[in-house]
Amino acid sequence: MNLKTVLILLVLALATIFALVCVLLTRGVKPASCEPQPLSSQGGKHSDQSLVFADLTPEEMGQVVRYLQRSLGVPLVDAYNANPSDNCIYYIDVQIPTKAEVLGFLDRGGRRPPRQALAVVYFGNQPDPNVTEYVVGPLPKPTTHQDITVQKYGGKLPYHRRPVLGKEYEQIETFLRKKALSTAPTFLHQVFNYDGTSFVSLTSAPRGFQSGDRSTWFALFHNVSGYFLHPVGLEVLVDHSSLDVSHWRVRKVFYNGQYYGDLVQLESEFKQGRVKVAPVTRAPPDGGFSSMQPRAAPRAPFPLQYEPHGPRYSVRNNQVVSQAWSFAFGVNVNTGMRLFDIRFKGERIVYEISVQDATSVYGSNCPGGMSTRYMDGSFGIGRLTYSLVQGVDCPYSATYVDTHYLVETDTPEKHKNSICIFEQNTGSPLRRHYSNLQSLYYGGLTNSALVLRSIATLGNYDYVWDFIFYQNGAIEAKVQATGYMTSSFLYGDGLDYGNRVGDHTLGTVHTHSINYKVDLDVGGVNNTLVAHDMAFESVQAPWSPEHQIQRPRLTKAVLDTEDKAAFRLHSNMPRYIYFAANSENKWGHQRGYRIQIISFTGEHLPEASLMERAISWGRYKLAVTKRKEEEPTSSSIYNQNDPWTPTVAFADFIDNETIVNEDLVAWITTGFLHIPHAEDIPNTVTVGNGVSIFLRPYNYYDIDPSIHSPDGVFFSREQDSSACEVNHIACLSKSASCLPILPPFTYDGFQNLTRL
């Protein structure tokens, strides 16, 4: 055996040993220290009391449907198949009991409030078509229903305000294909090589200029993957206001900058050679530049997080509990995430924080684009919350929870794994100090935060909704936008309305505005709003009066009325605004929680606009009002299709009531301007497209509560920082040296969908 052979054998032997070790490790042979510890040793406890906030179960939804079918005394069609002239159940959601009832139950040993549902019914098959809202209860076996429409909205809900059903969109699509486009065969064939199926349409909204209108511009796109980026330049205004589908009409047609009465006229003028044509080559089925197919093969896996001893939080029913935090969560069909009874170390800080609406106002020189003011709550931020992909949408090992909805069908729909919960190590310190003066030591705390997330897909784009709970008692509500932009056909002065991002594609300028309801209860239900800021004062130096000092000084004010507590977007807002309790901390300061807003909003819509009142929450970056059961939301699903007579006009909430020592609610608007650019292709990225609000303790405690976190680290020069007893991080190489046992990848997000 020569030296070369010996070396080869040695290498082979080493490789075999290495492979064996790898196999053992990947098969899950691991030190015992990797086993999850029981949660009882981690802190908080679950309570079934939080079920008072729970979303309806599929069984409860079924009970309500059957009760309504039995009890309404009119024929009900399954909304999935309903014509505008039918009666149908639009949606069913939980009716959260009043705050007084809930607090009586949670805090004062009162009875459990009866469980009730809210059922929204379209009555198209009546002499006076309308939408009616019922409270149905008690669950699980309902015996009564009460019409609350007039009490809730101050009047009946005219039928024209109703959100458009999937069935109605389908009927419009059929109308476009069979009745409208079929009248321009030469034009469509010669310009687009249209084959009867190669277009898809995208709705705009609102749908007209005045109450009662239901005329929608539908922009046509090539039917390929990522079609939002493939406008063909043809848009059709469909009047679908009649409850009789056969009476629907085309009111206007737009093509490449020119307007026509209908497609018949467009066809005729085309044949006479009077139409300025801009042919668009059809993209490949994968969309070409709009395809989301990765352009590179995967290489080494991306970094993963794992929990060496298993999760340090627990999810049971609708409640999350961690060492320091607990809260109840749910999803409103329309508005999306809602959290209740948020407690830090057992003390309630927030009664409710919930998304209220998300709007986008577009500019364009095409009619669909220029008239689009989407109010996403009307399309259903909650119901459009779909299955999350482990490892991309949330950490691979997050806890995933299903949600159920009953919307536009009599059968509950399950969205599997559509909420995720995880504890995230941000990889940076929450606080730290290295001391090199006087004595040598280090103290620090890893910034590990508990996160609740869902992602809603509203047509073209996706909103990532996060609620983040930090170890210092702070809460962050964060929203990030991603997904496809929507686009207009590029012609003429299009570049005044956005950037060109494709051969014929204009990325159109638009706003994103989001409104949150934050019902803080700081040290009790009744709070006062206080502002602190800083102003410079000029003073003579006491020791040298001939010299001036520009000295920052605190300014303090109690904002005692709703008007003083409503801050317009462009007004100066004190930099520190907080909800103050009736109690003081050890240092004699009112205990408080501060509201801090990270936002880049601009004007939401000029107030001269006849539809501005429908989104008048957008006037204010922050408005604090006295909490009222009659003012549960800042927006309404009925505002989208009749913004000219808004069903809920937030501006009316601000009527200068006194808000000293009252139960207060903060309505917070955040958002940003989006001028789509080349790098929004194929998708808008979350980086830089996120905004958030923070709720942070302000003299609420006597000291930063994170000092009590068991994650803290401290060692001095005199100590052996590599010793486990001194520094628990030094144990990691032993206690966390195992491989995480990852569950297999699964995805059920394409099942159970009732309609695309």
Residues that bind Cu ion (CB under 5 A): 674
Cα–Cα distance for residue pair 204/211, rounded to 1 Å: 16
- Closest approach, Cβ 512 to Cu ion, in A, equals 5
Alpha-carbon distance values, 561 to 623, 650, 686 (Å): 11, 16, 38
Cα–Cα distance for residue pair 659/528, rounded to 1 Å: 7
Which is closer to Cu ion, CB of 604 or CB of 674?
A: 674
Q: What amino acid occupies position 280? A: V
Q: For residues 352 and 339, is the Cβ–Cβ distance under 8 A?
A: yes
Kindly report the backbone phi and psi dihedral angles of residue 690, in degrees, each rounded to the nearest multiple of 5, phi listed first. Answer: -125, 145
- Closest approach, Cβ 617 to Cu ion, in A, equals 19
Alpha-carbon distance values, 100 to 173, 318, 624 (Å): 47, 21, 20
Which helix (H) or strand (E) segment holds residue 475: the answer is: strand 475-483
User: Tokens for 166?
Assistant: 């999937």
Which is closer to Cu ion, CB of 124 or CB of 498?
A: 498
Which is closer to Cu ion, CB of 504 or CB of 674?
A: 674
Which is closer to Cu ion, CB of 549 or CB of 673?
A: 673
Collapsed DSSP state (helix, strand, coil) of residue 689: coil
Which is closer to Cu ion, CB of 188 or CB of 361?
A: 361
- Please list the active-site residues: 376, 461
Closest C-alpha to 259, from 235, 231, 278, 232 = 235
Closest C-alpha to 51, from 314, 340, 465, 351 = 340
Where do runs of H (alpha helix) occur along 72-207?
Answer: 99-107, 149-153, 166-174, 185-192
User: Tokens for 482?
Assistant: 């991603």
Would you tell me how many other CB atoms lie within 10 Å of the CB of residue 753?
12
Q: For residues 215 and 240, is the Cβ–Cβ distance under 8 A?
A: yes
**Residue environment code for 724-740, b if the CB has 16+ CB neighbours within 10 A, otherwise e:** eebbebbeeeebbebeb
Q: For residues 202 and 459, is the Cβ–Cβ distance under 8 A?
A: yes
User: Tokens for 378?
Assistant: 């009307």
HSE toward the beta carbon, residue 270, CA cutoff 13 A? 23
- Closest approach, Cβ 688 to Cu ion, in A, equals 12
- Closest approach, Cβ 459 to Cu ion, in A, equals 12
Which is closer to Cu ion, CB of 63 or CB of 364?
A: 364
Collapsed DSSP state (helix, strand, coil) of residue 432: strand
